[in-house]
Copies of this chain bind each other. A is one copy, B any other.
Amino acid sequence: MDFKIRKAVPQDMPRVLELITELAVFEEEPDAVEITVSDLQTDGFGKHPAFNCFVADVDGQVEGIALFYGRYSTWKGKVLHLEDLIVSQKMRGSGLGTALLDEVVLYGNQLGVKRICWEVIDWNEPAIKFYEKKGADVKRDWDVVHLNEIGIRNYISKLEDARI
């Protein structure tokens, strides 16, 4: 199989959104994806992109993506965050995930960051094994916390009530 890893272009975003949605279905949150192709095209390109993206291009078809951006650690300074590493279901096990992660690590190394971080759902054992094999440390004692849209709205309305 012949593939190349390249930087994403705006024209890739419809397929990128398909892969994002495929992963959300796998993670049992099919309705969580609110983003649109147009959001991805606006936010990821131009003068101050909110993310960078590599794609695995298999004979002109995108079969994997690595989407990442900078974060800031108060211990290590500027770090890189890998938001999504996705390979289409039919192409799992064909080396695309490794090739994409290689590019992200090379990129982070060029930037001189002291950490590349991401998140994993704890029942995705194949992913965890893959990451650990690559030398990453899965911190099972650190949990992710979300205040979602409804949570923000409720929070604000309680603040307003308290200020009346």
Contacts and interface: CB of A to CB of B under 8 A. Distances in A.
Contacts of A138: 143, 145
B20 A147 contact: no
A92 to B, nearest CB: 19
A115 B149 contact: yes
B50 A70 contact: yes
Contact of A75 (B24, B105, B159): B24
Contacts of A70: 50
B77 A39 contact: yes
A164 B84 CA distance: 30
Copies held by the complex: 2
8 contacts: A29-B75, A71-B71, A105-B156, A105-B159, A114-B149, A135-B147, A136-B147, A142-B144
A51 interface: yes
Interface of A: 20, 24, 29, 32-35, 39, 43, 50-51, 67, 69-78, 81, 83-84, 102, 105-106, 108-109, 113-123, 131, 134-149, 151-152, 154-156, 159
Given A35-B77, A69-B71, A122-B141, 5 more contacts: A71-B83, A114-B152, A134-B147, A136-B146, A139-B144
B146 A115 contact: yes
Question: Which 9 A-B residue pairs are closest in the complex by CB-CB distance?
Answer: A142-B144, A135-B151, A116-B147, A136-B147, A114-B149, A51-B72, A50-B72, A139-B144, A20-B74
